[in-house]
Amino acid sequence: MRKLIYWVHTSVDGFVDGPNGEFDWPVMGPELSAYSDGLDHRVDTLLFGRPVWQMMVGFWPNAESMSQDPHVLAFAPFWRATPKIVFSRDYAGDEWATRVIRGDLEAEVTALKDQPGADLLLTGGAGLAATLSELGLIDEYHIAVHPVVLGGGRKVFGEPKQRLNLRAVESRVADGQVVVTSYTAA
C-alpha cells in the first residue's frame, strides 16, 4: 500500500500562512531543499487542496522565468512532470491538474493509496490535511518549523475535532535555522 506523506512549512506559532495569506516567509536553503527533494524522490503523485493549488499553479509552470533560486530550478521540472491531484468541490480544473477529486474524500484517498505505485505527497495547506488526519489517512508528517512568528493565519492542523497523537521519528536543524521533524501516527 502506498503511503500518504504530508509536507508542510509552519511558523513557530503554528501557522501555514500569515494573517493576510502571506507565504513569503519560508526560506529554502540548501539543506531544506535537499530534504524536500528526498521526499520528492519517494513519490509519483502530488496532492493539493485548492488554496495551495492556486498558489502553486500561479508560479511553478513558469518558475524558472521568475527565479533563479537553486530550489526553484530543481523543483520546477519535477512539479511539471509529476501527476497532480487537486481536491475541491467546485474547482473545474486546468491544464496542469491531472485530476480533480470532488467526491467522497475517504473513499477516493483510500483508493489512491490502494493503487500500485510510489507514495503520495500532500504539500502544504491546512484544511485538506486536517480532514485527512481526522480520517486517519496520513501516514507520515514532515513539518518544517521556520523561525518566524506570524501572529495569525491558518493553523497547521486547522481546528481538530479530536486529539491526534504522533510519534516523532526524526528531527534535525536545516540550514542552521529550520527545525524539520518527521512523525508517524501513534
Q: Average pLDDT in the 36-52 region?
A: 97
pLDDT digits (tens, 9 = 90+) for 125-147: 899 999 999 999 999 999 999 99
How far apart (Å, rounded) are the C-alpha atoms in residues 3 and 6? 10
Per DSSP, which regions of 83-177 are E strands? 84-87, 99-101, 119-123, 140-146, 166-174
Place of cell 513558469: 62
Q: Could you report the per-residue pLDDT of 68-123, keeping only the tens digit for each?
A: 999 999 999 999 999 999 999 999 999 999 999 998 999 999 999 999 999 999 99
Where are the domains positioned within the chain? 4-120+129-148
Flag whether pLDDT at 148 surpasses 90. yes
* Cell numbers given for 154: 491558518
Q: What SS3 class is residue 88? A: coil
Mean pLDDT of the chain: 95
pLDDT attached to residue 159: 84
Mean pLDDT on 56-63: 95
What single-letter DSSP state applies at residue 11?
A: E
Percent pLDDT > 70 in the chain is 100
Report field, pTM of the whole predicted structure over 0.85? yes
Q: So what's the pLDDT on residue 111?
A: 98
Q: 57 or 158: which carries more pLDDT confidence?
A: 57
pLDDT value of residue 186: 81
Q: Cell numbers 536543524 correspond to what residue? A: 173
Q: Are 151 and 19 in contact (CB under 8 A)?
A: yes
> What pLDDT shows up at residue 174?
98
pLDDT confidence of 162, banded at 50, 70, 90?
confident
Query: What CATH architecture applies to the domain 4-120+129-148?
Result: 3-Layer(aba) Sandwich (3.40)
